[in-house]
Amino acid sequence: MNREYHLSFCKICINRKPSLKEGLICSLTGKIAEFEKECANFKIDGLELEKIKKRFEIEINDKYAITKLESLFSEREFEKPEKNRNRKYLTKEKTHGLEFKKDKNYDKQILVMIGIIMVMLLYGNYINGFSWDLNSANIIGVLIMLFLSFYYFYKAFYHNYKTLITIDENGIHQEEKTLYWNNILDYGIIRGKGNNSMEKKIIIGTISSGIQEINISELNVTPEEFIEIIQLNKKTIYKNI
């Protein structure tokens, strides 16, 4: 495990000790953490954990929360979801091994739109008696749409998009960054409105690195499904503190 994983324990442990050289060390060993999964000397500091929770709430309110009046003019809204009633995964084990990529439904939607445009161009060409050769702008438009349709047909049904997020028993892996389950304190959803209606972000408050954003706007997972994954896997050792 890396330093960030260790700090998710050390920052709320009563045995923590500041160090000018290392940042935070264990007062019992005089060294930075070196444990694997769990620390045998870990004892939670409830007061420090509450401070971090309150700090997260303040940061969320300052950065994302808006009043009802402001929401009328805002292009985004923030919500802190409750437990999902329409559960998809049921157990945390069923979420391990999940991979999220760009959603091919967007390519399929574009393909449908291209088809509609092609039909409109052909119909316009027919009822107006335009020429059916390259002298007709409509026919040129149809050929362009036909080329695009081949491109998006390939993307929608054959192209294999790169995996952007994976889920396992340790946490959420995004490129070279991992957000460990025990590091998560709180979470919420940002949804876009109006021109930004496609925007969807998961906001996560962590112990070791403050607020983290995960953009799932174009991925093959809904905000509700992603929140369910977090709820199933999030460690509960801090729940009643």
* pLDDT interval class at 192 (50, 70, 90): confident
Which residue(s) pair with 174 in the sheet?
165, 177
Dist CA 176 CA 4 (whole Å): 13
**pLDDT tens, residue by residue, 157-175:** 999 999 999 999 999 999 8
Whether 86 has a pLDDT exceeding 90, the answer reads no
Which one is predicted more confidently, 60 or 65? 60
